[in-house]
Amino acid sequence: MIIRAWVALLALVLVLALAGCGSKTTQTAAPQAGAATNLKLSAKDNKYTPTILEAKAGQTVRLEISDIATPHTFTISPFRVNEAVTKIGTQTVQFAVPATASGPVEFFCSIHVGMGGMLQVKP
């Protein structure tokens, strides 16, 4: 548990450092809490892009994952999301952002170390 917290903190620091390197890798969700939103994520070269997604607390997220060439997972442990991403090409994962969630929450592939990012949850 402590190791996962350190890994999450390190990932957040890395994401923030990379965000300052000139390329914006944020995708923002629709502005209405409770409404469904559509986001896109690429799984090319065992790397999720963009590395920062945004959604509002209480939203349902429909996440289209493209560029799938090998099996992955899309995991957000605090939300109990752990979806197998095995359809070659494109696959949609749907999950609910808890109404009580806020701040940065790590998402990752449990198969490929370092493949992940942050979901920034807005109130």
* Ramachandran category for residue 20: left, alpha or beta (phi over 0 → left; psi -120 to 50 → alpha): alpha
Q: Which residue has the higher pLDDT, 44 or 19?
A: 44
What is the per-residue pLDDT for 120? Answer: 98
Q: Cα–Cα distance between 81 and 64 in angstroms, integer?
A: 15
SS3 category, 13: helix
Residue 67 CA to residue 83 CA, distance in Å, equals 16
Higher-confidence position of 9 and 44: 44
Q: What pLDDT does residue 35 have? A: 76
Where does residue 34 fall: left (phi above 0), alpha (psi -120 to 50 degrees), or beta otherwise?
left
pLDDT, tens digit, 9 for 90 and up, residues 46-76: 999 999 999 999 999 999 999 999 999 999 9
Q: What confidence tens digit (pLDDT) does each residue in 79-92 have? A: 999 999 999 999 99
Domains of the chain plus CATH, in order, are 2-122 (2.60.40.420)
Q: What tens digit of pLDDT does each residue of 14-38 get?
A: 433 334 433 344 444 444 445 789 9
Q: How far apart are CA 96 and CA 84, in angstroms?
A: 16
Residue 6 has pLDDT above 60, yes or no: no
Contacts of 81 (CB under 8 A, 6+ apart): 74, 75, 93, 95, 107
**pLDDT at 45 exceeding the cut of 90:** yes
